[in-house]
Amino acid sequence: MDCCAHHPKPPTSLADLPPGAEWTCPMHPEIVKPGPESCPLCGMALEPKLMSLDEGPHPELVEMRRRFWFCFALSLPLVLLAMGTMWIERFVIAPWPMLLVQLALSTPVVFWGGWPFFQRAWASLRHRSPNMFTLVALGVGVAWGYSFVASLVAYAFPEAWPAAHHDPSGLPQVYFESASVITTLVLLGQVLELRARAATGEAIRSLLRLAPTSALRIEEGREVEVDLALVRVGDRLRIRPGERVPVDGRVLEGQSSVDESMLSGEPTPVEKREGSLLSAGTLNGRGTLLFEATRVGAETLLAQIVARVGEAQRSKAPIQRLADRVSAFFVPAVLITAAFSFVAWWLWGPPPSLALALTNAIAVVIIACPCALGLATPISVMVATGRGAHSGILVKDAATLERFARCRILLMDKTGTLTEGRPALHHIECIAELSEDEVLRLAATLERASEHPLGESIVRAAHVRGLALAELHDFQAHPGLGVEGRVDGRRVRLGSSVFLQEMAPESSALAPRAQALRAQGYSVVFLAVDERLVAFLASRDALKESSAETLKALRAEGVEVIMVSGDNEASAGAIAAELGIAKVKAGLSPIEKAEFLRSLQAEGQLVAMAGDGINDAPALAQADVGIAMGNGTDVAIESAAMTLVHGDLRALLRARKLSRATLRNIRQNLAFSFAYNLLGVPLAAGLLYPWTGMLLSPMVASAAMSLSSVSVIANSLRLRGISL
């Protein structure tokens, strides 16, 4: 339960949202409503600003999926009946019952399956903002309405219906199947869109799960477990080994190492002692800490990251906005053209003028049905994403490929993106009679009992060399400093220069070399045996094999690569220099990464961001194209619009090639759709009749409409054969 308005407990489902929760449109974030309804501008269902922990399917997705399968089951036999004229003539004595069957099958498809589209179309007209739903409702409604009127008039008053508008079986030309198929295809598009939108919320839910639901509060000397919502600033809290920090705070007592990779992106745990700062969601190591809460609820760094991810996700503009902008002019133009055609044929057309006027007006509306325009973008994207998946490129939304083709700035995290994300031992330097193998054996024996990432790199190196580790006695760990113990009867110490600063003067012989390696981005630890400094070991996070060639190719394409890292300037600068990266931003927090990216966007730049950690999530969500490494964290992957499945940076080049091809394909589809309407609508209106005597019947208009959709699909399918 909520203790107060300032400390709300994250809702676990949509039903748990507070009464004052606000709902907004994914495409139009300026639209804010007090409840779940449709956006007045685009007709999309509004989503709550406050994300819940509910992982169940979205109610609208369930409803649209149910409507789609119902309509599919009725549309399939309807299409077979409509296309089976010869079969009807051979086996059915009276064709009129078959027409009634078509009417019976199409009516529930149009009026139940397509009812949400009619609702949204009506809302768009009330708000004077015509969109794709307006076109869908218009096309479906006219096709079904025309077919119903034609059937009724042709049956009741056969002499009043032009003989030219009957098919060979004597039935009137009807388009029940067109109305049903259009409805079913639009429902399929809605299902696919809602599935993609639902996946974006998993990023925020993953972040919310990092914070524990309770905390150990010290009350009168006792530890009391309380709900996280009850924690106040100034409370004294206990964090035990292996637990996540519940709120931001400052350490009062104890020592431990805390995994802050979710914030810094760096694999090395940070040592904490009295006075150190803690952040909510970070993972405590083997020690116990007593700390004072300094920021709780929405004020914690984790909560701010969650807010930034949600804000950035809502600010993204899908590529479908283009179709809506076109529709704002296209729909009125079609209606005006249809009305003008009706009046012109009624007043000046040959007899039967009224029937011809109605027929031509209907033909205009049918041929202008937005199928080709509506399919132009999503079909290309569907094919392209499928092709990308076969090449290790996962694309989350429709706008990603189009945007990535135009990005000229790419921000890249260092650890885990340009590097492997796993330190490796590179150098062993000795000043005593000990060999490198002996130094490594002693160091690995000590570090075998440690969980420090640098220690793990030493142990891995010993295993690679096949060294047999000795028995360890009297092991002691000194958080933030080093480790010590007895190996083969000798006292061995391994750690930082501070840990070994009281060693013999021989340390001066190693100092210059160690400092030089630090300047190159290496992490250095010293080894002492029996109070005598004998060697140091230097580890470094290795560059990915694909980093250098990928960055070179990107620069050749005119892409500016900027490194953004939470690591220190020396390490980040060393890696950048090795890769030829001219611009580096080091020591950045997750929020600062997102703010730097936003500053580039404010200059009018289209910016992509590549990263792998939780610390990259705000920037990945804020970026025009967020790119996550497939071997990174779930939060990074869910925040990004594109994922490189194997973490291979060469996939970036394949993704850019695919993006350019997709953008080119979309432009071709849109150009064809516009050209089709610019030519088809005048022909349907009877423009050529004065010279050729030719009229475009609704049947031909329907065929042309279908042909336009087939052409767009066929062009999009060419993306399957693109070489990546």
Q: Rounded CA gap, 610 and 409, in Å?
A: 11
248 is known as an active-site residue: no
Distances in whole angstroms, Cα of residue 182 to Cα of each of 85, 323, 612, 671: 21, 17, 41, 21
* Closest C-alpha to 416, from 599, 641, 637: 637
Calpha distance 262→635 (Å, rounded): 9
| CA distance linking residue 143 with residue 149, whole number of Å | 10
Query: Is residue 217 within a helix (H) or strand (E), and if so which, with residue range?
Result: strand 214-219
Calculate the CA 416 to chain-centre distance: 19
- The structure tokens listed for 451 are 């969980």
The dihedrals phi and psi of 410, each to the nearest 5 degrees, come to -125, 115
C-alpha 603/C-alpha 528 separation (Å) is: 54
CA 706, CA 639: separation in Å to the nearest integer? 38
Residues facing residue 543 across a β-bridge: 419
Angstrom distance (rounded) from CA 263 to CA 459? 27
- Which residues are within 8 A (CB) of 575 and not within 5 positions of it... i.e. 6 or more apart? 414, 418, 419, 521, 543, 563, 581
> Are 608 and 404 within 8 A, CB to CB?
yes
Contacts for 1-8: CB closer than 8 Å, 24+ residues apart: 1/227, 1/229, 2/229, 3/227, 3/229, 3/230, 6/297, 6/298, 7/228, 7/229, 7/230, 7/231, 7/296, 7/297, 8/229, 8/297
Q: How far apart are CA 12 and CA 10, in angstroms?
A: 6
CA distance 535 to 64: 68
Q: How many CB atoms are closer than 10 A to CB 220?
A: 5
Tokens of 416: 């885990």
Supply 557's token pair: 């394409």
SS3 call for 508: helix
Strands 236-239 and 222-227: unpaired
Tokens linked to 20: 């004052």
Q: CA 419, CA 299: separation in Å to the nearest integer?
A: 33
CA gap 237, 225 in Å, rounded? 10
Per-position DSSP letters for 79-127, written without gaps between them: HHHHH-HHHHHHH-S-SHHHHHHHHHHHHHIIIIITHHHHHHHHHHHHT
Residue 514 CB-half CA count within 13 A: 18
Q: What is the DSSP letter of 430?
A: E
The helix or strand, by DSSP H or E, that contains position 365, with its residue range, turns out to be helix 353-367
Alpha helices in 165-300 (DSSP H): 176-208, 261-264
Spot the catalytic one: 397, 413, 616, 624: 413
Q: Which residues are catalytic?
A: 413
